[in-house]
Amino acid sequence: MLNKFLNWVRGKEEPSGQGNPTIEFGRYSDNNKMSGKVRRWKEADSLFKEKDYAASVDAFFDYLKDDAIQNVRYTRNGDTATFELFQGSKIIRGEIRDNRLSADVKLALMAEPSVPVMRRLLEMNFGLYYSRFALNNNELCMRFDTDLSTANPNKLYYGLKELATKSDKQDDLLIEDFSHLAAVDQDHITPLSEKEKQVKYDFLMRWIDEILEKIGGVDADKFSGGISYLLLSLVYRIDFLITPEGQLLNLLEKVGAIYFKKDERSIVDKNRDMIEAFRELKAKPREEIFKNLFRSKYTFSIVTPQVHKVMADAIHEANENMLWYRDNGYEYFANKLMEYGLSYCQYSYSLPRPITLLVSLFMQVNYPSFFNALGYAEDLYDPASGRFKEDTIIRYIRAVEAQWKERYPYMSFRTEGLNFSGLLAFNYSFTTQIEKLNMDVPA
């Protein structure tokens, strides 16, 4: 424990902190390759241009592998190779033989032929660029294959990504929509402890109740914008801290999509639909929520990277919109607006790892009871006294910078700019400093 704490302070491992459990928050991002992995991508590209296809593929899979989580298994035996990629509830299995790469993934078991299922898959095939749906005996599958002579790193990456991300999503949707289909090939999933599932379930219900109560206390028309921010920040908080999978994740995505759908409905109408969706979520049986809380490995992010300016603009806009609520005494709304700026970016983009760690710190400050229930040793902020653990917060930030200095050498968080006079002031100063970060990567 002492060595772990010292490594945390020195920046040699990510700052879960002394005595805290190791719990991963947020979705997987593959936007965090160290220089050694980036070199492997460049080597794969060069080797492909030199027509050394076997060596190119070897370098590509080494690039793809996240050594921390072991999400890729790749074995070469002479002119052949086999591989496995983990993506949520799915495993993509493949082989390289006779100068051809093929990969497939099992979606569901179909005991009896079904015209509606096959029609669904046929229609979805038109939306795929690299892969396709297939039927292998009684198993619904997806498949991707290519000759090595055309398998440059870009094609391999986007082809396997499409196969992985689409299959991880479609297996849940198919099983939900067609009751005669059954789940398959999910033995690799790691269940959460009963305690962690119960904590996440309890706070999921508590947060929904809290938001609905706050919304019920204001005028639906005059506060339509603020209500939208509350509902959307709740979507993104649940995604980041609860990290639901399967059908629960699909439902959460639908809630957020209500607001951003381009149609003629007013914001008030969209808010009403989102509120109703949250009520439906809250009404789901505890057992159904529990079965969608588990851990698994990922190889690809489901969202794409963005330059830091996009995130900075989102934070700045949210903080600007917050000012009216702050100045008119609606502190609860103001804090959730600043949370929205951060969490929207975390939800929508594949962010650099140090930014995700800073988002986690923000959440730990703002939701101490949640982290305390999960077993975190100390609260970074005490709502009763209004006091912060200033030294611990600053040490955490410095550890994040040290851990990722090789990848992001220009990142410099101005901790002297943090305002610890109250939660509202802290959130504003903290998000402002993230907005100003230089996350450029050296060429």
Check residues 5 and 35 and name the one with the higher pLDDT.
35
Which residue do the tokens 């991880």 mark? 168
Q: What is the pLDDT of residues 240-253, one digit of tens each?
A: 999 998 888 889 99
Check residues 290 and 173 and name the one with the higher pLDDT.
290
* pLDDT exceeds cutoff 90 at 331: yes
CATH code: domain 72-182 is 3.30.1460.10
**Listed range (44-58, 96-110, 161-175, 340-354) with the worst mean pLDDT:** 161-175
Helices 267-282 + 194-216 axis angle, to 10 = 150
Q: Residue ranges per domain, the chain?
A: 1-30+301-443, 72-182, 190-298
DSSP state letters, 77-141: ETTEEEEEEEETTEEEEEEEETTEEEEEEEEEEESS--HHHHHHHHHHHTT-SS-EEEEETTEEE
Q: What is the pLDDT of residues 202-212, one digit of tens each?
A: 999 999 999 99
* pLDDT exceeds cutoff 80 at 20: no
Q: What is the mean pLDDT of residues 375-388?
A: 92
* pLDDT exceeds cutoff 80 at 9: no
In sign, the C-alpha dihedral spanning 14, 18, 24, 26 is negative
Q: What integer pLDDT is reported at residue 7 of this predicted model?
A: 46
Half-sphere exposure of 391 (CA within 13 A, CB side): 2
pTM as predicted: 0.90
Burial code of 211-242, b = ≥16 C-beta within 10 A, e = fewer? Answer: bbebbeeeeeeebbebbbbbbbbbbbbbbbbb
* pLDDT exceeds cutoff 60 at 3: no
Q: What is the pLDDT of residues 190-234, one digit of tens each?
A: 888 999 999 999 999 999 999 999 999 999 999 999 999 999 999
pLDDT-derived band at 8, boundaries 50, 70, 90: very low
pLDDT-derived band at 10, boundaries 50, 70, 90: very low
Q: What integer pLDDT is reported at residue 24 of this predicted model?
A: 85
Q: What integer pLDDT is reported at residue 14 of this predicted model?
A: 52
d(CA 368, CA 240): 15
When the pLDDT of each residue in the chain is averaged and rounded to a whole number, the result is 91
Q: In 3D, which of 143, 73, 62, 134 has the Cα closest to residue 102?
A: 143
Q: What is the largest CA-CA distance in the chain?
A: 71
Q: What is the pLDDT of residues 300-328, one digit of tens each?
A: 998 888 999 999 999 999 999 999 999 99
Q: What integer pLDDT is reported at residue 12 of this predicted model?
A: 43
Helix (H) or strand (E) holding 430: helix 423-435
* pLDDT exceeds cutoff 70 at 5: no
Q: What is the pLDDT of residues 251-274, one digit of tens each?
A: 999 999 999 988 889 999 999 999
Q: What integer pLDDT is reported at residue 408 of this predicted model?
A: 92
Q: What integer pLDDT is reported at residue 17 of this predicted model?
A: 54
* pLDDT exceeds cutoff 50 at 420: yes
* Local structure of 159: helix, strand or coil: helix
pLDDT-derived band at 32, boundaries 50, 70, 90: confident
